[in-house]
Amino acid sequence: EKQGIRRPRNPARIVKRTIRGMLPKNATGRTMYKSIKAYVGYPEEIKAMVEKGQARLVKFKEADVSRLRGKYVTVLEIAEAMGWKGA
């Protein structure tokens, strides 16, 4: 049987792959890609740091979903449409 294109189903991997396409295709881009961290949900280690006051959350008003007027699709909806059965 012939195999088709392999696409990530996990939302974190979908985001990482999308970012990979935006990076330069050289050694610098590979280094940048290795430093990317994407999570499904809110990671426990970050939550603990925020509660202890060691880190703070940054929210960008310009990037908030409430500014959108039209329809939009979330990464979770895309992942579920591709067959992701996670949390």
Each residue's pLDDT tens digit, 23-79: 999 999 999 999 999 998 888 988 899 889 898 888 899 989 889 999 999 999 999
Domain boundaries, the chain: 11-81
Each residue's pLDDT tens digit, 8-18: 999 999 999 99
| Phi and psi torsions of 67, nearest 5° | -80, -15
Q: What is the predicted pLDDT for the residue at 83?
A: 92
Each residue's pLDDT tens digit, 71-85: 999 999 999 999 999
- Encoding tokens for residue 46? 């970050």
Q: What is the predicted pLDDT for the residue at 87?
A: 62
Residue whose entry in the numeric block shows the structure tokens 């979908």: 14
- Encoding tokens for residue 72? 């939009």
Q: What is the predicted pLDDT for the residue at 23?
A: 97
- pLDDT-derived band at 20 (thresholds 50, 70, 90) equals very high
Global pTM?
A: 0.77
